[in-house]
Amino acid sequence: MFEIDPNSQANLTEIATEHVHLDLAVDFAGTKLEGTAVYQLVALLPTQEVVLDTAHLKLGGARLKLIDGSRVPLEIDTNSIHEIYGTALRVLLPEPAAAGDKLTIEVDYETSPDSGAIQFLTPEQTLGKSHPYLFTQCEEIHARSLLPCQDSPSVKISYSANVRVPKPLTALMSAIATGSRTEGNSTVFSFEQQTTIPSYLIALVVGNLASAKISDRCAVWSEPENIDACAWEFAEMETILQTAEDVISPYLWGRYDLLVLPPSFPYGGMENPCLTFVTPTLLAGDRSLTDVIAHEIAHSWSGNLVTAKNWEHFWLNEGWTTFFERKIVSRLSGEDARQLSCVIGEADLLESIDFYGKDNPLTALVPKLDGVDPDDAYSTVPYDK
């Protein structure tokens, strides 16, 4: 089970997900998402089951979609439950799949208020105080509470989605928006991410959102009440992106948009493809904290395009990104700024080691995470060690 990833219960050596399509409705009153996930899979070895990671999901029916469009109901088993890694969803196939076989499976499900990936906010918790809001945070192993999936960085998928939200709210995802349509009192937003990504980079936000154009491929999003401040603070996004291209290689994701979230967002930034999430605490009023943007932009190459196999090798994502970030900062602000960032990073590293204890296994560059929640291993060690 753990040949590839100790933090996943999926049968990663037998089945690979190639594409996922989500058809979801947002229910703010019930603080849940509900709908269907459609999986395009390929068998790597002969197998008669598909095992997906789940956590805090209410599972409905599963079906095998045949070439002629007809559906065959499938038996599911949810008896394998791990205290940390959630419930293994075993979907039993009617006959064994041979290596190389392609199959399409549909799973109906809904999330629950216990989902670790989804944060629902009441209107009072937003800047505008008039509309509810939700955002997701799937890193490290929380995507399984957003949808059943092979929740491992070793699996890279493309995805598409239709997301139904109440008017007048807007939905955004870590993908390219392909359109929207009105259905009664709801709007259905459509998305497509053609570049393959790991499950932890699937992201969704729904709220009263406005945008400001920065360049032909960059925009900033936030609640309307602070969109002007956000547009001013992050006016240099295109310049940072061009500098990253000069340091690394051409940017391959099409758009680079930035979303400024409400204050409850728990991180400085999250490198969701096409739509970086950032904290409003970056709105310093003097553009002095934009090195965070350099870091998240750098993830467009290290982490998002080239991804560590599992969370034990998280340093491959963050170490290279920190290296690229400081190269970008050097180009933009001079070598002294890069050196200062290195000094601050070393101090943070020593603080983390002191916090965990210098002999704590979690301070290793490649920690052993079998039976460990990767969130518990998070520190500045993989960034600077």
Cα–Cα–Cα angle for 117, 144, 269, nearest 5°?
40
Mean pLDDT of all residues in the chain?
Answer: 96
325: which 2 tokens?
A: 């970030």
Say what the pLDDT of residue 1 is: 45
Residue 261 has what DSSP assignment?
P
Residue 38: exposure state from Cβ atoms within 10 A (0-12, 13-18, ≥19): middle
pTM of the predicted model, to two decimals?
0.97
Higher pLDDT, 1 or 353: 353
Q: Say whether 383 is catalytic.
A: yes
Q: Which of the residues 49, 223, 296, 312 is marked catalytic?
A: 296
Ramachandran angles phi, psi of 49, nearest 5°: -150, 155
How far is Cα of residue 80 from the mean position of the Cα atoms in its chain? Answer: 25
| Three-state DSSP state, 250 | coil
Length of the chain: 385
pLDDT of residue 264: 81
Find the mean pLDDT for residues 360-377: 95
Question: Is residue 363 over pLDDT 70?
Answer: yes
Known catalytic membership, residue 39: no
Res 159 pLDDT > 70: yes
Estimate to the nearest angstrom the gap between the alpha carbon of 314 and the chain centroid: 15
Q: What is the DSSP secondary structure assignment for residue 83, as one 8-state letter?
A: T
**How many percent of the chain have pLDDT more than 90?**
96
- Pairing between β-strand 102-110 and β-strand 58-65 as defined by DSSP bridges: antiparallel
Task: Supply the DSSP symbol for 282.
Answer: G
| Structure confidence by residue, pLDDT tens digits, 248-276 | 999 999 999 999 999 888 888 999 999 99
